Amino acid sequence: MLLGALLALLSDDLKRTLACSSLSQIGFISVATALLAANHDTTLAAGGALLHVINHALTKLVLFVSAGVFYKTYHTNDLNQLRGAGRGSWYLMLCFFIGGISLAGVPGLAGYISKTLIHEAIVENMHVWQHSLLSLVEKLFLLSGGLTLAYMSKLFVTLFVQKPVVSEHHHHSGSVKPDWLTGLSIGVAALGLVLFGALPNLFYNEILHYTADFFHIHPHEIHWFSTVNLLGSMTSLMIGLLVFIFVVRLFLTSRDGEGRVRVIQSSLDLESRLYQPVIQIVCFIGALFARILHSTSGWLLTLLEETFFHNRNPRIVEGTDDHFALYNRGYTAPSKYSQTLAFELMLFGVGLIITLLYLLIVNH
Protein backbone atom coordinates (compact mmCIF):
# COMPACT_ATOMS: atom_id res chain seq x y z
CA MET A 1 0.00 0.00 0.00
CA LEU A 2 2.60 2.55 1.06
CA LEU A 3 5.49 1.07 -0.94
CA GLY A 4 3.54 1.13 -4.19
CA ALA A 5 2.54 4.75 -3.59
CA LEU A 6 6.16 5.74 -2.95
CA LEU A 7 7.35 3.97 -6.09
CA ALA A 8 4.66 5.71 -8.13
CA LEU A 9 5.61 9.06 -6.62
CA LEU A 10 9.28 8.63 -7.56
CA SER A 11 8.74 7.19 -11.05
CA ASP A 12 9.27 9.20 -14.23
CA ASP A 13 7.67 6.58 -16.49
CA LEU A 14 3.96 6.91 -17.24
CA LYS A 15 3.00 3.23 -17.37
CA ARG A 16 5.35 2.31 -14.52
CA THR A 17 3.70 4.95 -12.35
CA LEU A 18 0.30 3.43 -13.05
CA ALA A 19 1.64 -0.08 -12.44
CA CYS A 20 3.08 0.94 -9.07
CA SER A 21 -0.25 2.60 -8.36
CA SER A 22 -1.96 -0.75 -8.95
CA LEU A 23 0.41 -2.29 -6.42
CA SER A 24 -0.66 0.35 -3.91
CA GLN A 25 -4.38 -0.17 -4.58
CA ILE A 26 -3.98 -3.93 -4.17
CA GLY A 27 -2.56 -3.05 -0.76
CA PHE A 28 -5.84 -1.31 0.11
CA ILE A 29 -7.75 -4.40 -0.98
CA SER A 30 -5.40 -6.61 1.06
CA VAL A 31 -6.06 -4.53 4.18
CA ALA A 32 -9.81 -5.03 3.76
CA THR A 33 -9.33 -8.75 3.14
CA ALA A 34 -7.17 -9.08 6.26
CA LEU A 35 -9.81 -7.32 8.36
CA LEU A 36 -12.45 -9.67 6.98
CA ALA A 37 -10.30 -12.70 7.79
CA ALA A 38 -9.78 -11.46 11.36
CA ASN A 39 -13.40 -10.47 11.93
CA HIS A 40 -15.98 -12.39 9.90
CA ASP A 41 -18.84 -10.17 11.09
CA THR A 42 -17.69 -6.98 9.37
CA THR A 43 -19.75 -6.08 6.33
CA LEU A 44 -17.64 -2.97 5.84
CA ALA A 45 -14.45 -4.89 5.09
CA ALA A 46 -16.17 -7.36 2.76
CA GLY A 47 -17.98 -4.64 0.85
CA GLY A 48 -14.92 -2.40 0.77
CA ALA A 49 -12.73 -5.13 -0.71
CA LEU A 50 -15.28 -6.06 -3.38
CA LEU A 51 -16.17 -2.49 -4.35
CA HIS A 52 -12.54 -1.40 -4.48
CA VAL A 53 -11.80 -4.24 -6.90
CA ILE A 54 -14.62 -2.99 -9.15
CA ASN A 55 -13.68 0.68 -8.83
CA HIS A 56 -9.99 0.01 -9.36
CA ALA A 57 -10.76 -1.95 -12.53
CA LEU A 58 -12.82 0.94 -13.94
CA THR A 59 -10.24 3.53 -12.91
CA LYS A 60 -7.29 1.70 -14.42
CA LEU A 61 -9.31 1.11 -17.59
CA VAL A 62 -9.44 4.88 -17.99
CA LEU A 63 -5.84 5.56 -16.98
CA PHE A 64 -4.03 2.72 -18.76
CA VAL A 65 -5.96 3.18 -22.00
CA SER A 66 -5.20 6.90 -21.84
CA ALA A 67 -1.53 6.06 -21.32
CA GLY A 68 -1.75 3.81 -24.37
CA VAL A 69 -3.04 6.73 -26.42
CA PHE A 70 0.01 8.78 -25.43
CA TYR A 71 2.37 5.92 -26.28
CA LYS A 72 0.69 5.29 -29.63
CA THR A 73 1.10 8.95 -30.53
CA TYR A 74 4.63 9.66 -29.24
CA HIS A 75 6.12 6.14 -28.80
CA THR A 76 7.50 6.88 -25.33
CA ASN A 77 6.43 6.56 -21.71
CA ASP A 78 9.05 8.99 -20.40
CA LEU A 79 7.25 11.78 -18.56
CA ASN A 80 10.15 14.13 -19.25
CA GLN A 81 9.41 13.77 -22.96
CA LEU A 82 5.62 13.81 -22.57
CA ARG A 83 5.38 17.16 -20.80
CA GLY A 84 2.39 19.02 -22.15
CA ALA A 85 1.62 16.28 -24.66
CA GLY A 86 -2.07 16.35 -23.76
CA ARG A 87 -2.65 20.09 -23.82
CA GLY A 88 -5.64 20.86 -25.99
CA SER A 89 -7.03 17.31 -25.80
CA TRP A 90 -9.98 18.27 -23.64
CA TYR A 91 -11.85 14.97 -23.84
CA LEU A 92 -8.82 12.92 -22.85
CA MET A 93 -7.97 15.48 -20.17
CA LEU A 94 -11.45 15.24 -18.64
CA CYS A 95 -11.47 11.43 -18.60
CA PHE A 96 -7.96 11.25 -17.14
CA PHE A 97 -8.90 13.83 -14.51
CA ILE A 98 -11.97 11.84 -13.46
CA GLY A 99 -9.94 8.63 -13.23
CA GLY A 100 -7.21 10.33 -11.22
CA ILE A 101 -9.41 11.98 -8.61
CA SER A 102 -11.52 8.83 -8.31
CA LEU A 103 -8.39 6.83 -7.57
CA ALA A 104 -7.43 9.44 -4.96
CA GLY A 105 -10.80 9.08 -3.22
CA VAL A 106 -12.37 12.47 -3.91
CA PRO A 107 -16.00 12.54 -2.62
CA GLY A 108 -18.63 12.11 -5.30
CA LEU A 109 -16.66 9.52 -7.27
CA ALA A 110 -16.52 5.74 -7.03
CA GLY A 111 -13.10 5.56 -5.41
CA TYR A 112 -14.36 7.53 -2.41
CA ILE A 113 -17.09 4.96 -1.77
CA SER A 114 -14.84 1.90 -1.56
CA LYS A 115 -12.07 3.69 0.36
CA THR A 116 -14.65 4.98 2.84
CA LEU A 117 -15.84 1.43 3.48
CA ILE A 118 -12.29 0.21 4.08
CA HIS A 119 -11.51 3.15 6.37
CA GLU A 120 -14.70 2.58 8.35
CA ALA A 121 -13.79 -1.11 8.66
CA ILE A 122 -10.43 -0.14 10.15
CA VAL A 123 -12.07 2.26 12.63
CA GLU A 124 -14.72 -0.32 13.54
CA ASN A 125 -12.12 -2.96 14.35
CA MET A 126 -10.08 -0.41 16.30
CA HIS A 127 -13.03 0.01 18.67
CA VAL A 128 -13.57 -3.76 18.88
CA TRP A 129 -9.98 -4.86 19.50
CA GLN A 130 -8.48 -1.75 21.11
CA HIS A 131 -5.17 -2.56 19.43
CA SER A 132 -2.52 0.06 18.71
CA LEU A 133 -1.48 -1.74 15.51
CA LEU A 134 -4.78 -0.84 13.86
CA SER A 135 -4.16 2.81 14.70
CA LEU A 136 -0.90 2.53 12.76
CA VAL A 137 -2.75 0.84 9.89
CA GLU A 138 -5.20 3.75 9.78
CA LYS A 139 -2.37 6.28 9.62
CA LEU A 140 -0.69 4.31 6.80
CA PHE A 141 -4.05 4.11 5.04
CA LEU A 142 -4.55 7.88 5.15
CA LEU A 143 -0.94 8.55 4.14
CA SER A 144 -1.11 6.13 1.20
CA GLY A 145 -4.37 7.71 0.07
CA GLY A 146 -2.72 11.12 0.22
CA LEU A 147 0.24 9.91 -1.82
CA THR A 148 -2.25 8.66 -4.41
CA LEU A 149 -3.46 12.23 -4.91
CA ALA A 150 0.16 13.45 -5.04
CA TYR A 151 1.35 11.13 -7.83
CA MET A 152 -1.87 11.45 -9.82
CA SER A 153 -1.52 15.25 -9.60
CA LYS A 154 2.06 14.86 -10.83
CA LEU A 155 0.85 12.91 -13.86
CA PHE A 156 -2.00 15.29 -14.66
CA VAL A 157 0.09 18.45 -14.35
CA THR A 158 2.91 16.94 -16.40
CA LEU A 159 0.72 15.68 -19.23
CA PHE A 160 -1.95 18.35 -19.48
CA VAL A 161 -0.79 21.55 -17.74
CA GLN A 162 2.92 22.07 -18.37
CA LYS A 163 4.17 23.59 -21.60
CA PRO A 164 4.93 21.09 -24.38
CA VAL A 165 8.46 19.88 -25.04
CA VAL A 166 10.16 21.76 -27.87
CA SER A 167 13.57 20.44 -28.98
CA GLU A 168 15.35 18.99 -31.97
CA HIS A 169 14.02 15.51 -31.30
CA HIS A 170 10.65 16.12 -29.66
CA HIS A 171 7.87 18.53 -30.42
CA HIS A 172 4.41 18.10 -28.91
CA SER A 173 1.55 20.04 -30.34
CA GLY A 174 -1.11 18.70 -27.98
CA SER A 175 -2.78 16.65 -30.73
CA VAL A 176 -3.38 13.48 -28.71
CA LYS A 177 -6.72 12.16 -29.95
CA PRO A 178 -7.97 8.61 -29.36
CA ASP A 179 -9.97 6.87 -32.05
CA TRP A 180 -13.72 6.66 -31.56
CA LEU A 181 -13.77 3.16 -30.06
CA THR A 182 -10.96 3.94 -27.60
CA GLY A 183 -12.59 7.23 -26.70
CA LEU A 184 -15.91 5.47 -26.16
CA SER A 185 -14.40 2.90 -23.79
CA ILE A 186 -12.62 5.60 -21.79
CA GLY A 187 -15.74 7.76 -21.65
CA VAL A 188 -18.06 4.95 -20.55
CA ALA A 189 -15.68 3.91 -17.75
CA ALA A 190 -15.25 7.54 -16.61
CA LEU A 191 -19.03 8.03 -16.65
CA GLY A 192 -19.41 4.90 -14.55
CA LEU A 193 -17.00 6.30 -11.96
CA VAL A 194 -19.12 9.44 -11.71
CA LEU A 195 -22.48 7.67 -11.52
CA PHE A 196 -21.34 5.01 -9.05
CA GLY A 197 -19.82 7.66 -6.80
CA ALA A 198 -22.69 10.13 -6.96
CA LEU A 199 -25.46 7.53 -6.51
CA PRO A 200 -24.00 4.80 -4.29
CA ASN A 201 -27.39 3.82 -2.84
CA LEU A 202 -28.68 3.07 -6.31
CA PHE A 203 -25.72 1.05 -7.58
CA TYR A 204 -23.83 -0.32 -4.58
CA ASN A 205 -26.41 -1.22 -1.93
CA GLU A 206 -27.51 -4.35 -3.79
CA ILE A 207 -23.90 -5.48 -4.12
CA LEU A 208 -23.33 -4.94 -0.40
CA HIS A 209 -26.47 -6.92 0.49
CA TYR A 210 -25.34 -9.77 -1.75
CA THR A 211 -21.91 -9.68 -0.10
CA ALA A 212 -23.49 -9.81 3.36
CA ASP A 213 -25.66 -12.78 2.35
CA PHE A 214 -22.65 -14.58 0.90
CA PHE A 215 -20.71 -14.28 4.19
CA HIS A 216 -23.85 -14.83 6.33
CA ILE A 217 -23.48 -11.50 8.14
CA HIS A 218 -25.91 -8.70 8.85
CA PRO A 219 -25.50 -5.70 6.53
CA HIS A 220 -24.75 -2.28 8.02
CA GLU A 221 -26.61 0.89 7.17
CA ILE A 222 -24.00 3.18 5.66
CA HIS A 223 -24.18 6.97 5.51
CA TRP A 224 -21.87 7.59 2.59
CA PHE A 225 -21.52 11.34 2.88
CA SER A 226 -21.65 11.78 6.64
CA THR A 227 -19.42 14.34 8.31
CA VAL A 228 -17.13 11.68 9.77
CA ASN A 229 -16.59 9.97 6.43
CA LEU A 230 -16.01 13.25 4.62
CA LEU A 231 -13.54 14.31 7.32
CA GLY A 232 -11.49 11.15 6.80
CA SER A 233 -11.40 11.71 3.06
CA MET A 234 -10.46 15.38 3.45
CA THR A 235 -7.62 14.44 5.81
CA SER A 236 -6.12 12.10 3.25
CA LEU A 237 -6.59 14.58 0.40
CA MET A 238 -4.99 17.38 2.41
CA ILE A 239 -1.95 15.17 3.02
CA GLY A 240 -1.71 14.52 -0.71
CA LEU A 241 -1.99 18.20 -1.57
CA LEU A 242 0.79 19.12 0.86
CA VAL A 243 3.02 16.33 -0.47
CA PHE A 244 2.48 17.51 -4.03
CA ILE A 245 3.25 21.15 -3.25
CA PHE A 246 6.15 20.78 -0.83
CA VAL A 247 7.71 17.49 -1.98
CA VAL A 248 6.92 16.89 -5.65
CA ARG A 249 7.17 20.48 -6.85
CA LEU A 250 10.06 21.54 -4.62
CA PHE A 251 12.25 18.44 -4.28
CA LEU A 252 11.25 15.99 -7.02
CA THR A 253 11.28 18.61 -9.75
CA SER A 254 14.55 20.10 -10.96
CA ARG A 255 15.32 22.73 -13.60
CA ASP A 256 18.34 22.68 -15.88
CA GLY A 257 19.93 25.57 -17.72
CA GLU A 258 17.45 25.38 -20.60
CA GLY A 259 14.46 25.72 -18.34
CA ARG A 260 13.35 22.14 -18.85
CA VAL A 261 11.39 20.76 -15.94
CA ARG A 262 12.27 17.21 -15.00
CA VAL A 263 9.62 15.23 -13.23
CA ILE A 264 11.97 13.40 -10.91
CA GLN A 265 15.53 13.58 -9.76
CA SER A 266 17.32 10.38 -10.74
CA SER A 267 19.11 10.28 -7.37
CA LEU A 268 15.77 9.54 -5.67
CA ASP A 269 14.73 6.69 -7.96
CA LEU A 270 14.23 3.63 -5.75
CA GLU A 271 14.73 1.22 -8.65
CA SER A 272 18.19 2.43 -9.61
CA ARG A 273 19.33 3.35 -6.10
CA LEU A 274 17.93 0.47 -4.06
CA TYR A 275 16.40 -2.47 -5.92
CA GLN A 276 18.94 -2.93 -8.71
CA PRO A 277 21.95 -2.83 -6.30
CA VAL A 278 20.21 -5.29 -3.97
CA ILE A 279 19.48 -7.66 -6.88
CA GLN A 280 23.10 -7.40 -8.05
CA ILE A 281 24.39 -8.18 -4.55
CA VAL A 282 22.06 -11.19 -4.23
CA CYS A 283 23.14 -12.49 -7.66
CA PHE A 284 26.81 -12.05 -6.74
CA ILE A 285 26.38 -13.94 -3.46
CA GLY A 286 24.48 -16.72 -5.25
CA ALA A 287 27.15 -17.03 -7.95
CA LEU A 288 29.91 -17.08 -5.32
CA PHE A 289 28.12 -19.79 -3.35
CA ALA A 290 27.59 -21.87 -6.52
CA ARG A 291 31.26 -21.53 -7.48
CA ILE A 292 32.35 -22.64 -4.00
CA LEU A 293 30.12 -25.71 -4.21
CA HIS A 294 31.39 -26.50 -7.69
CA SER A 295 35.05 -26.25 -6.66
CA THR A 296 34.62 -28.30 -3.48
CA SER A 297 32.43 -31.06 -4.89
CA GLY A 298 35.36 -32.84 -6.60
CA TRP A 299 37.63 -33.24 -3.58
CA LEU A 300 34.60 -33.97 -1.37
CA LEU A 301 33.62 -36.93 -3.56
CA THR A 302 37.24 -38.14 -3.58
CA LEU A 303 37.35 -37.95 0.22
CA LEU A 304 34.11 -39.90 0.56
CA GLU A 305 35.32 -42.61 -1.84
CA GLU A 306 38.54 -43.03 0.13
CA THR A 307 36.85 -43.12 3.55
CA PHE A 308 33.28 -44.40 3.39
CA PHE A 309 32.40 -45.51 -0.13
CA HIS A 310 34.96 -48.10 -1.25
CA ASN A 311 34.82 -49.48 -4.78
CA ARG A 312 33.86 -53.12 -4.89
CA ASN A 313 33.75 -55.53 -7.77
CA PRO A 314 30.06 -56.08 -8.38
CA ARG A 315 28.80 -59.59 -8.92
CA ILE A 316 27.11 -59.86 -12.28
CA VAL A 317 24.07 -62.13 -12.32
CA GLU A 318 23.41 -63.57 -15.73
CA GLY A 319 19.83 -64.10 -16.68
CA THR A 320 17.76 -65.19 -19.64
CA ASP A 321 14.36 -64.26 -20.94
CA ASP A 322 12.82 -67.05 -22.97
CA HIS A 323 9.89 -64.86 -24.03
CA PHE A 324 11.86 -61.88 -25.31
CA ALA A 325 10.99 -62.58 -28.94
CA LEU A 326 7.26 -62.49 -28.11
CA TYR A 327 7.26 -58.84 -26.91
CA ASN A 328 5.33 -56.41 -29.04
CA ARG A 329 7.47 -53.60 -30.33
CA GLY A 330 5.26 -50.61 -29.90
CA TYR A 331 5.73 -46.96 -29.05
CA THR A 332 3.03 -44.59 -27.94
CA ALA A 333 3.88 -40.98 -28.65
CA PRO A 334 2.74 -38.69 -25.83
CA SER A 335 0.49 -35.79 -26.68
CA LYS A 336 2.54 -32.65 -27.17
CA TYR A 337 -0.24 -30.40 -25.93
CA SER A 338 -0.87 -32.43 -22.77
CA GLN A 339 2.72 -31.85 -21.68
CA THR A 340 2.68 -28.07 -22.07
CA LEU A 341 2.31 -25.41 -19.41
CA ALA A 342 -0.73 -24.01 -21.19
CA PHE A 343 -2.59 -27.29 -20.72
CA GLU A 344 -1.74 -27.33 -17.02
CA LEU A 345 -2.89 -23.73 -16.61
CA MET A 346 -6.12 -24.56 -18.42
CA LEU A 347 -6.80 -27.47 -16.07
CA PHE A 348 -5.99 -25.24 -13.09
CA GLY A 349 -8.45 -22.62 -14.36
CA VAL A 350 -11.17 -25.22 -14.89
CA GLY A 351 -10.63 -26.57 -11.39
CA LEU A 352 -10.72 -23.09 -9.92
CA ILE A 353 -13.99 -22.29 -11.69
CA ILE A 354 -15.55 -25.55 -10.47
CA THR A 355 -14.42 -24.78 -6.91
CA LEU A 356 -15.87 -21.26 -7.01
CA LEU A 357 -19.17 -22.52 -8.42
CA TYR A 358 -19.33 -25.13 -5.67
CA LEU A 359 -18.71 -22.52 -2.98
CA LEU A 360 -21.34 -20.20 -4.44
CA ILE A 361 -23.94 -22.98 -4.60
CA VAL A 362 -23.20 -24.35 -1.12
CA ASN A 363 -23.04 -20.94 0.60
CA HIS A 364 -26.16 -19.71 -1.14
Q: Give the tens place of pLDDT for each residue, 97-110.
A: 999 999 999 999 99
Pairwise CA distance, residues 77 & 61, whole Å:
17
The pTM of the whole model exceeds 0.85: no
Percent with pLDDT over 90 in the chain = 39
First to last CA, the chain: 33
pLDDT computed for residue 185 by the predictor = 93
Q: Give the tens place of pLDDT for each residue, 330-360.
A: 555 555 555 566 677 778 888 888 887 777 7
Q: Give the tens place of pLDDT for each residue, 305-314.
A: 777 766 665 5
Nearest to 17 by CA among 124, 107, 128, 96: 96
pLDDT at 329 exceeding the cut of 80: no
Pairwise CA distance, residues 269 & 256, whole Å:
18
Mean pLDDT over the full length of the chain: 82
Give 259's pLDDT tier (boundaries 50, 70, 90).
very low
Residue 278 C-alpha from the chain's centroid: 22
pLDDT computed for residue 174 by the predictor = 53
Evaluate the CA torsion angle 212, 216, 217, 220 in order and state its sign: positive
Q: Give the tens place of pLDDT for each residue, 226-254.
A: 888 899 899 999 999 999 999 888 888 76
Evaluate the CA torsion angle 170, 174, 175, 181 in order and state its sign: positive
Give 264's pLDDT tier (boundaries 50, 70, 90).
low
